[in-house]
Amino acid sequence: MAIARTARVVATERTEATCVVELETAEPLGFIGGQYIIVDSGLVLPSGKAAKRAYSILTSDADQRRFRLAVKQIPNGLVSGFMHQLAPGASLAFSGPWGKLGPVADAATTDAANTEGAAGTAIAAHDAGTTLVLATDTGISAALGLVQAARMRALLPATVLIWLQVDGERFLPEAVVRAHIPAGCGAIRFAALPPIGHPERVPYVRALVAEEMARTPGGVARGFISGDGAVNYAVLDDLVAAGIPATRDSVESFFNMPKKSA
């Protein structure tokens, strides 16, 4: 059962259709970069269910008491509308952190740098190979949390971060995204892709990933994908087919979630 927690709104910043909310908790959150929380707006959906939504933590897990969420305004979206109306000083109910997106290492490589619990597990520097971090649309928020994670530090020099969004969409300004990417990240690529639901969207991303794997010296050793579930699982299949260790924990779907029986 999820334990209810609260955070105080410290600041808000709006950029076109997105509101970045900075929150502060009384106790360390205990999150690992790449995870998310589930916000409880206190409102009720027409179905009678509580209006809750998951938001990835945008910031580094080096700070366990202050963190940021990027919330896109969804037309007629009950929770996104609620989040956009928050003001400094307000209290926000949530549960979490949740999610397993990110690399896993054995206990021998545990990162002790974060003394407030949480930082996750570091990957040994000798763990060779390129790390592919692919984000579509709003999935960039999870990708940014991941590349800032303590457990990603040794992998960053050989990490390729790719963000694909529909031309004209402005979830987060490029400058804001780049400001959250650690300086040591090996390569950063931004590009456009077909709209959500377009028949060429999934083939386009699969072709792009295939090109990336083909031109990467030594090959891709691991991949993490966030955003469009239809894209995520198609690319996951390709990674597995290429012999790259990848599981359902290697993806974080924001929409187009596959059925649980899949």
- State pLDDT tens for residues 201-256: 999 999 999 999 998 878 899 999 999 999 999 999 999 999 998 888 899 999 99
Question: pLDDT digits over 48-61, tens only?
Answer: 999 999 999 999 99
Whole-angstrom Cα distance, residue 25 to residue 94? 11
Tally of structural domains, the chain: 2
pLDDT confidence of residue 170 = 82
CATH number at residue 25: 2.40.30.10
80 has a pLDDT exceeding 90: yes
pLDDT confidence of residue 120 = 46
User: Which residues constitute the domain of residue 52?
Assistant: 5-98
**Two tokens, residue 154:** 């040794």
- 233 lies in a domain? yes
Whether residues 207 and 186 share a domain: the answer is yes
Dihedral of the alpha carbons of 132, 225, 72, 153, in degrees to the nearest 10:
-50
pLDDT confidence of residue 129 = 85
Which residues have a Cβ under 8 Å from the Cβ of 122 and sit 6 or more positions away?
105, 109, 110, 111, 150, 151, 153, 154
Whether residues 52 and 144 share a domain: the answer is no
Whole-angstrom Cα distance, residue 6 to residue 106? 32
